[in-house]
Amino acid sequence: MTPSQSINGALRKVPAWTVYIVGAVYAVWQFWRALNQIGPYLVEPINVLERAYGEVGLQLMVLGLLVTPLRKWTGVNLLKFRRAIGVTAFFFVLAHFLVFAILDVQSLGRVWTEIVKRPYVTVGMVSFMMMIPLVVTSNNLSVRKIGTAAWRKLHKLTYLAAILGVVHYLWLVKGFQIEPIVYAVVVAVLLLARVRKWKQVATDARGAA
C-alpha cells in the first residue's frame, strides 16, 4: 500500500463533521486563551486574536483550494472534507470580523467608516461578503436546486475570495514581510493550475462537439 492509500484508508474512518468540531474547539480555545491572556495573548489580546482568526480563515480557504490538486499530485483524497473546510473557513473569517468590529473598533459607525475609508478593510469585507453565498449554498439541496454546473460556477468565487483575502493581508502589513507573500504565491500557483485546467476542459468540450 502506498502512503497516500494508507492516509486515505485512515481518513475514510473520519467523518467530515470532525472538521467543524476541531474548528469550533480551536476557535473557543483561542478565545479562552485571549480572555485569560495566555501565551501570545499576554499583552494585547484583541489584536492578536483578530489576526489569529483571520489567518486561520485564510489558511482554511487555501486548504480548500488545495484539495483537488493535492489528490492529483499526491493521491491524498480530502474531497469529502472540502465542504466542511470551506464552511469552517467562513466561520473563522466571521469571527475575525466580529473581533474587529466589537472588540477592536468598538462602534458600528466607525466600523462602517473603516469599511468605506480603508481600502484594505474594504477588500477584506468584499472577500467576506463573497463567502456568504458560498456558505449558504454549501448543502446538497442547493446543489440540486441550482444545478451542478451553475453551482460549480458559483463556487469558483472561492478563488476570488481567497485572492481578496490575500490582498487584504498584503495591504495591512508594514514593511516587507514574508508571510502574506507566501500566501499570495500559493494562491497564485493554485489559480494558474486551475485556469490551465479550465482552458483544457473548454478545449476538450469544443473538440468533442
Partner 1 sequence: MAYRWTNTLTQADITPKAAYLNRRQILAGTVGLGAIGLAGGAQAQELEPNTLEEITSYNNFYEFGTGKEDPARNAHQLVTSPWSIKVAGMVDNPGDYALADLLDGLTVEDRIYRFRCVEAWSMVIPWNGIELADILNKVGVQSGAKYVAFETVVQPDNMIGVQRRVLDFPYVEGLRLDEAMHPLTIMATGIYGEPISNQNGAPIRLVVPWKYGFKSIKSIVGITLTDEEPPTSWNKANAREYGFYSNVNPNVDHPRWSQASERKIGGGLFASRQETLMFNGYPEVASLYEGQDLSVDI
Binding positions for partner 1, rule: CB under 8 A: 34-35, 37, 40-49, 103-104, 106, 110, 113-114, 118-120, 171-178
Nearer to partner 1, 175 or 207 (CB): 175
In the complex with partner 1, which residue's Cβ is closer, 50 or 81?
50
Write down the least CB distance from residue 149 to partner 1, Å.
Answer: 41
Distance CA 180, CA 177 (A): 7
DSSP 8-state assignment for residue 38: -
- Rounded to whole angstroms, how far apart are CA atoms 126 and 161? 8
CB of 186 to partner 1, least distance (A): 19
Segment (H or E) for 90: helix 82-98
Locate cell 490575500: which residue?
A: 166
DSSP secondary structure, 96-148, as one string: HHHIIIIIII--HHHHHHHHHH-HHHHHHHHHHHHHHHHHHT-SHHHHHHH-H
Distance CA 169, CA 166 (A): 5
Question: Which three-class secondary structure state does DSSP give residue 15?
Answer: coil
Shortest separation between residue 42's beta carbon and partner 1, angstroms: 6
Identity of the residue, 46 or 190, whose beta carbon is nearer to partner 1 in the bound complex: 46
Give the shortest CB-103-to-partner 1 separation in angstroms.
7
Return the C-alpha cell found at 49: 486574536
Distance in Å, CB of 160 to partner 1, minimum: 22
Residue (8 or 122) nearer to partner 1, CB:
122
- Nearest CB to partner 1, comparing residues 71 and 118: 118
